[in-house]
Structure 1
Amino acid sequence: MMEPDHLDVWGLGDKGMHPHVDVEMENRPYEQIYKAGFSGHTRRRMSPSRGYLAHVRREFTQYMQPARRVILKSVYSLANTEWIYKRFRPVVVVLLRNPYSVCHSIHRKWPDARLKPLASQGGLPSRLLGPHRELLEAAAKPYEILASRLGAYHKVALEAAGRHPEWVVVRHEDLCRDPLRAYEKLIGDIGLDWNESVAGYIRDTNKPKTSDEVQHVNRLSSDEIHKWKMLLSEQEIEDVRRFYRPFDMGFYSEIL
């Protein structure tokens, strides 16, 4: 299922790229959207829109038969994972990817838009801004802003994971390095069944990409680990390193 908290749910207001809802705070529209997702109802693909919630709710609630097992994936919920967990008690997997690849991916998609410095975003907890406010305010270039935002939100998500040892934390690079072994472990950790159908799908898609279409999922996973080195300039790499490293909790210390 596509992200129920996709960027266009919130528009371009002060919620920013990764909206934050305090864990003790009620947010009925956001809760309704996730409730529909976790109930197992599917929806039509959401068309691009800058509308706030009416359009999203209309698109999201095109009900079909409920699913037996629901997996929701979102790249926008880093700051809201604990809020989601408290209300719906899902099995949580925090999937990290190295900051160089993530920053490049965002900048490639939105080279000029949505690069609002994190320090100017409304509704953020003091624990996020306090220790790093000077660094966050100093971020000016695109990769500085992206790296500082990502670092801050990775820290929020990982601090929450530390409070919930039942959550599973995994790195994208570890899945790429040995996909069959790593996915078998991950699937077991979250209580799903590993079988030959799953293994076959991984083998069948672990091959070079032959199309730029979004729906084309083939990737040679080993190439994904260090691809960022060929995509970023030395200056961009340094910008990411300087503005992400202060937030790192040891998951990427070998490349920072």
Structure 2
Amino acid sequence: MNIYVNTFQSGKQKVLNKKELVLLTGVPRAGTSVVGDVLAKHSSIDSVFEPFNFHLGWKSVENYFPISDLDFTNEFCKKFLDNEIKFKSGIFPEDGFFKKLRKRLGFSGTKLSYNRAINSKTVETIIIKDPTACFLSPDFISKDYKVIYLYRNPFSVAASFKRMKWGFDMEDIIKRMKCSALKHIVDDVSTEIELLKDESLYLKSALLLWLLSYSLAYSKKNEVLIVDHGDILRDPISTYQKMLNYMGYDLTNEHLNIIKEFKSAKNSGPPKEGVAHQWNRSMDTINKYWKEILSEKEIKVVESICNPLISKLEGLKC
């Protein structure tokens, strides 16, 4: 276990601050924000929101979805744990005037969550909840940090991308992966990449990120914990207990209370247009609404492209 020791002077007293990192990742829309918040309902755990996000993360992040690079990740971890990391403003192109102003004044979710976690005297483990770090897992593994992949079915991911009108420059991401230690992951899905080249930007982005991220997760299946989002819906208590045990903790009353709150959520309607995170939605609704958003043709594309990897991931439960 790698632990950086941060020291600082408080009067004449020297204080040691030891913290461990856990990477909680998956594809965008896999649920890292909500799951990270639930796991952090423990006095010794806190979470930091997307420090590798291109818009609001570490200033050294130059692209969407940084690719495995041990020097890059080593520098991040050292600065992160030494309380020396500098973050971007967190301003997104679609942010309104007052939201931009608030972020320019230093009130971005990433900065606030980081300052709270790193300066806490009780927090021993910091969860980095970040789907944009899905290709950095080999680096965290090499540093003996725990990695949890949240696996969400590709139908829900594709529908969410369509609803949010999201798309990424997949050619750039694939190009950078080909020039890295992850080239074999791209090679493994080269046929699917070709089949998706003429699809819509949102469908191509969703499915290629899904394939590349979970192909990497599957290749590291003996070194990471892969958690099915559906298991969180079906049996949240035992699934959260599994994740906490993996991190070295037990379920607390605070965990049970928030799980109960999610299970009794009254908002069971479809997700709101353009809203990425809705904590008060019925968890059962989350994995069903895709049938109302994807066309029959799109559903068939998802099935043909993703079913082989779905079978492999489902096989891990046996």
Cα distance in 1 between the residues matched to 2:281 and 2:155: 18
Cα distance, 1:99–1:169 mapped onto 2, change above 3 Å? same
Q: Deviations over 1:39-68 (max 9, x none)?
A: 689998952258xxxx99x98598456231
Deviates more, 1:195-204 or 1:146-155: 146-155
Q: In structure 2, give the amino acid aligned to 1:47.
A: G
Number of equivalences:
237
Q: Are 2:52 and 2:65, in contact at CA under 8 Å, matched by a contact in 1?
A: no
Q: Deviations over 1:91-138 (max 9, x none)?
A: 221111111111222333344x42434785224333122233233133
Cα distance in 1 between the residues matched to 2:239 and 2:218: 20
Find 2:136's aligned residue among 61, 72, 80.
Answer: 80
Q: Are 2:154 and 2:210, in contact at CA under 8 Å, matched by a contact in 1?
A: yes
- SS of corresponding position for 1:92: strand
Cα distance, 1:116–1:31 mapped onto 2, change above 3 Å? same
Q: In structure 1, give the amino acid aligned to 2:295.
A: S
Cα distance in 1 between the residues matched to 2:54 and 2:302: 23
Deviates more, 1:78-87 or 1:124-133: 124-133
Q: Are 1:118 and 1:149, in contact at CA under 8 Å, matched by a contact in 2?
A: no
Question: What percentage of aligned pairs have identical amino acids?
Answer: 17
Instruction: Tell me the CA shift for residue 86 of structure 1.
Output: 1.6
Find 1:102's aligned residue among 157, 165, 169.
Answer: 157
Cα distance in 2 between the residues matched to 1:232 and 1:115: 22
Cα distance, 1:32–1:223 mapped onto 2, change above 3 Å? same
Report which of the two has the higher share of strand: 2
Instruction: Tell me the CA shift for residue 159 of structure 1.
Output: 0.7
Q: Match for residue 90 of structure 2?
A: 47
Cα distance in 2 between the residues matched to 1:246 and 1:118: 25
Cα distance in 2 between the residues matched to 1:152 and 1:216: 26
Q: Match for residue 249 of structure 2?
A: 192
Q: Are 2:58 and 2:88, in contact at CA under 8 Å, matched by a contact in 1?
A: no
Structure 2 regions of 5+ residues with no counterpart? 1-47, 94-103
Q: Rg larger in 1 or in 2?
A: 2
Deviates more, 1:213-222 or 1:151-160: 213-222
Cα distance in 2 between the residues matched to 1:209 and 1:40: 39
- SS of corresponding position for 1:122: helix
Structure 1 regions of 5+ residues with no counterpart? none
The alignment's C-alpha RMSD in Å is 3.7
Counterparts of 1:1-256 in structure 2, within 5 Å, are 1-8=48-55, 9=57, 15=63, 17-22=64-69, 25-27=70-72, 30-38=73-81, 46-48=89-91, 60=111, 63=115, 66-67=119-120, 68=123, 69-87=125-143, 89-111=144-166, 113-117=167-171, 120-124=174-178, 125-139=182-196, 140-142=198-200, 143-162=203-222, 164=223, 167-206=224-263, 207-209=265-267, 212=272, 216-248=278-310, 250-252=312-314
Cα distance in 2 between the residues matched to 1:194 and 1:63: 25
Cα distance, 1:248–1:216 mapped onto 2, change above 3 Å? closer
Instruction: Tell me the CA shift for residue 156 of structure 1.
Output: 0.9
Q: Structure 2 length as normaliser, TM-score? A: 0.62
Q: In structure 2, give the amino acid aligned to 1:26.
A: D
- SS of corresponding position for 1:72: strand
Instruction: Tell me the CA shift for residue 230 of structure 1.
Output: 2.3
Q: Are 1:3 and 1:75, in contact at CA under 8 Å, matched by a contact in 2?
A: yes
Deviates more, 1:222-231 or 1:40-49: 40-49
* 4+ residue runs over 6 A deviation: 40-45
Instruction: Tell me the CA shift for residue 191 of structure 1.
Output: 1.6
Instruction: Tell me the CA shift for residue 240 of structure 1.
Output: 1.6
Q: In structure 1, give the amino acid aligned to 2:156.
A: S
Q: Are 2:231 and 2:239, in contact at CA under 8 Å, matched by a contact in 1?
A: yes
Q: Deviations over 1:222-250 (max 9, x none)?
A: 22233322221111111222222344452
Q: Are 2:154 and 2:207, in contact at CA under 8 Å, matched by a contact in 1?
A: yes
Q: Are 2:244 and 2:250, in contact at CA under 8 Å, matched by a contact in 1?
A: yes
Cα distance, 1:220–1:40 mapped onto 2, change above 3 Å? farther
Instruction: Tell me the CA shift for residue 71 of structure 1.
Output: 1.4
